């Protein structure tokens, strides 16, 4: 029997429909205010017709636009970094996020990572933003194609990666090369991105093998971290096209 704390509601048209179309086994209940969907969904999940106001009560936050869609799902199984690295089950290219606090940003980052085939994303444990409906909505279902991996300590995770042959790149405005001067040609590597406010911590920067920055014009000092991730991964794809 599934406990309530193992379930979470997600909302938003594209996020919900992505889950339903994926035939995800973790779907428990689907509610919608759109009557035309009941006949058009090709899946085994029954659409329970309700009102938009009733769905408001599910999410409670008046700033969240559920668009008349609510899906109750089982929480995705959490993966532990130590276990994966010990058993050599990490991908050869990994993203590490240090202190990302905005759920919309994190969701957009996950979407960017999956779009450019970086599906292993390492986060610090106990990030409550993963429970936010804003996070799930902004991933637009791409979280299903990612592996979110937890570590109790980012610095220790970096050291663990280095011991296992990973080259560590860090996105930093200071003491760094322009991104077009960096090859990203190692067989195994990780790319670090810092928080929305301060970027990477100094102790994290010191553990990087190579630092890079994205050149900007018109006195713009920094980019949103989700934008930085997208530009970085696109730049790598341009260097090594599929």
Please give the model's pTM, rounded to 2 decimal places: 0.90
CATH no. for residue 218? 3.40.1280.10
Same domain, 232 and 210: yes
3-state secondary structure of 31: strand
Could you say which of 74, 99, 132 is where a domain stops? 74
Secondary structure (DSSP) of 126-165: --GGGG-HHHHHHHTTGGGG-EEEEES-HHHHHHHHHHTT
**CB 10, CB 16: distance < 8 Å:** yes
Could you say which of 74, 97, 112 is where a domain stops? 74
Q: What is the tens place of the pLDDT at every residue in 34-86? A: 887 654 555 567 788 999 999 999 998 889 999 999 999 988 777 999 999 99
pLDDT > 70 fraction of the chain, expressed in percent and rounded: 93
β 69-74/120-124 pair status? unpaired
Q: 153 lies in which domain range? A: 79-239
Q: How far apart are CA 238 and CA 235, in angstroms?
A: 5
């Amino acid at each position: 029997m599934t406990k309530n704390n193992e379930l979470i509601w997600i909302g938003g048209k594209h996020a919900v429909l992505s889950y339903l179309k994926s035939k995800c086994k973790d779907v428990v209940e689907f509610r919608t205010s759109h009557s035309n969907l009941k006949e058009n969904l090709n899946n085994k999940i029954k659409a329970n017709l309700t009102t938009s106001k009733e769905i408001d009560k599910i999410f409670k936050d008046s700033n969240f636009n559920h668009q008349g869609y609510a899906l109750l799902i089982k929480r995705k199984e959490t993966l532990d970094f130590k276990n994966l690295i010990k058993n050599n089950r990490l991908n050869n290219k990994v993203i590490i996020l240090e202190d990302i606090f905005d759920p919309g940003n994190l969701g957009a980052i996950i979407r960017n990572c999956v779009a450019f085939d970086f599906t292993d994303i390492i986060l610090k444990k106990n990030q409550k933003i993963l429970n936010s409906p804003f996070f799930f909505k902004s991933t637009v279902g791409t979280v299903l194609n990612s592996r979110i991996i937890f570590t109790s300590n980012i610095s220790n995770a970096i050291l663990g990666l280095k011991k296992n042959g990973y080259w560590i790149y860090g996105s930093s405005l200071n003491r760094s090369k322009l991104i077009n001067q960096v090859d990203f040609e190692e067989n195994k590597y990780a790319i670090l991105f810092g928080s929305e406010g301060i970027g990477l911590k100094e102790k994290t920067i010191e553990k990087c093998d190579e630092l890079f920055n994205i050149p900007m014009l018109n006195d713009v000092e920094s980019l949103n971290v989700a934008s930085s991730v997208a530009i970085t991964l696109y730049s790598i794809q341009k260097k090594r096209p599929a």
